[in-house]
Amino acid sequence: MRYSLLIFLMIVFSCTPSEKAENEKQLSIEIKEWGKLPNGQTVQLFTLSNANGVSLSITNYGGIVTSIFAPDREGKLSDVTLGFDNLEGYLKETPYFGAIVGRYGNRIANGTFTLDGNTYTLAKNNGKNHLHGGEKGFDKVVWDAEKIEGKDQVGVQLSYLSKDREEGYPGNLNVTVTYTLNTKNQWKIDYKATTDKKTVVNLTNHAYFNLTGEPKNAVLNHELSIAASHFLPVDSTLIPLGELKEVSGTPFDFIIPKKIGSRVEEDDTQLNYGRGYDHCWVFDDQSGKMKFAASVFEPASGRLMNVYTTEPAVQFYGGNFLNGTLIGKGGTPYQFRTGMCLETQHYPNSPNQPEFPSTVLNPGEVYQSSTIYEFITK
Ligand code: GLA
């Protein structure tokens, strides 16, 4: 009798910690219909969650991440990304909130480039330049979506065939973007693409972060670090001049964490061109391997976001075009600099600047790129 009691107690005590461990590992994925496009096509919403309370909602319209819930240092969960409450919001006007950006993220000067003697003409949708894939880029198309359920991660795999000459780009481009959430509060994005004709590719995600969790606040108190001793100075239309400039001694120095607001108002030609920060930083590590890229710390909430990437650069955009006219989630008008983006990518205008790392994709090659956004506290 006593022996069986002992066995019973042993089972109870040996089960409890492992059950706990099992709970901590718990990951879930929920899928629902989210709305309809004007052509009647149904769009879905995938919500990935882990046992720490972190959750990401993703729609297959534009591959948009519509919410990111992350805990503060007290464990309180808040949504740390900008966006709209429903699909209609995204169909009206959006500055790429949370979306996949392609076929070429960032600018291509004068909306044109040449490959093997063939000149391609793209939409000039940003003054005289082409921006973020054109009039109907990857942020405005419906992606095929499949859920992923693994031991340590859940996710959604998005696929899209961008046809030859779509938005003026050559080649049928087969694109896969996989979003996963793991037990370590990491949102990982894996991009893959293949083509049947020489083309250019530069994919990124355009999530806007506000780690206060209350986007009525500006992001100027966020402390930013970027693992880059150089950035790309631009002309007045935000096309790189070609030189890599040292950040040292300039308002672009984020090697050691610094408040975004600390120097943004300085009278600096580059800041004037960008209306603040809207520039490309070139990482010191150009190995193409996954590396630490940037971090953002919000001191009041304790939220810390670390960014890792295989990409050579990041466009840090400080929300300078937000002006209160867009009414976001919960009826919040998104005011000047209330969101910031860290868009991992190749350099802007690379198709026209042969000295930059190449963005050309040839048939038979596989474009591959990965980025991780990690949500922890300090
Ligand atoms: C990018 C650009 C900015 C702006 C935003 C969208 O990050 O660099 O200039 O166009 O997208 O508003």
Given this model, what pLDDT does residue 7 score?
46
Task: Report which protein residue has its CA nearest ligand 1's atom 9.
Answer: 278
Residue type (1 letter), 7? I
Q: Which is the closest atom of ligand 1 to the Cα of 341? A: 7
Task: Report which protein residue has its CA nearest ligand 1's atom 5.
Answer: 95
CA 12 – ligand 1 centroid, Å: 56
DSSP element (H, E) containing 316: strand 313-317
Q: Determine whether the shortest distance from the Cβ of 133 to ligand 1 is under 6 A.
A: no
Residues serving a catalytic function are 206, 343
The residues near 33 (Cβ < 8 Å, ≥ 6 apart) are 42, 43, 44, 45
Given this model, what pLDDT does residue 12 score?
42
CA 317 – ligand 1 centroid, Å: 7
> Could you tell me the strand order of the sheet in which 173-182 lies?
144-149, 153-162, 173-182, 186-195, 367-377, 303-309, 291-298, 223-226, 258-259
Task: Report which protein residue has its CA nearest ligand 1's atom 12.
Answer: 95
Q: Determine whether the shortest distance from the Cβ of 315 to ligand 1 is under 6 A.
A: yes
The single-letter DSSP state of residue 109 is G
- Name the residue of 82, 106, 131 to mutate for ligand 1: max ligand atoms within 8 A of Cβ: 131
**CA gap 330, 342 in Å, rounded:** 24
Given this model, what pLDDT does residue 19 score?
46
Q: What tokens does 206 get?
A: 């355009």
Per-residue pLDDT of 319-357, as tens digits, reads 999 999 999 999 999 999 999 999 999 999 999 999 999
Q: What tokens does 100 get?
A: 């996949």
Comparing CA positions, the residue from 370, 205, 226 lying closest to residue 296 is 226
CA 280 – ligand 1 centroid, Å: 11
Per-residue pLDDT of 192-238, as tens digits, reads 999 999 999 999 999 999 999 999 999 999 999 999 999 999 999 99
Per-residue pLDDT of 268-317, as tens digits, reads 999 999 999 999 999 999 999 999 999 999 999 999 999 999 999 999 99
Q: Determine whether the shortest distance from the Cβ of 341 to ligand 1 is under 6 A.
A: yes
**CA gap 347, 106 in Å, rounded:** 8
Q: What is the mean pLDDT of residues 129-152?
A: 97
Given this model, what pLDDT does residue 61 score?
98
Given this model, what pLDDT does residue 25 score?
57
**CA gap 258, 281 in Å, rounded:** 15
CA 198 – ligand 1 centroid, Å: 27
Task: Report which protein residue has its CA nearest ligand 1's atom 8.
Answer: 278
Phi first, then psi, for residue 83 (nearest 5°) are 170, -160
The single-letter DSSP state of residue 4 is H
- Name the residue of 132, 231, 237, 314 to mutate for ligand 1: max ligand atoms within 8 A of Cβ: 132
Per-residue pLDDT of 68-127, as tens digits, reads 999 999 999 999 999 999 999 999 999 999 999 999 999 999 999 999 999 999 999 999
Q: Determine whether the shortest distance from the Cβ of 234 to ligand 1 is under 6 A.
A: no
* Separation of first and last alpha carbons in the chain: 51
Q: What is the mean pLDDT of residues 141-170?
A: 97
CA 101 – ligand 1 centroid, Å: 11
DSSP element (H, E) containing 17: helix 2-25
Per-residue pLDDT of 22-65, as tens digits, reads 544 589 999 999 999 999 999 999 999 999 999 999 999 999 99
Q: What tokens does 364 get?
A: 């038979």
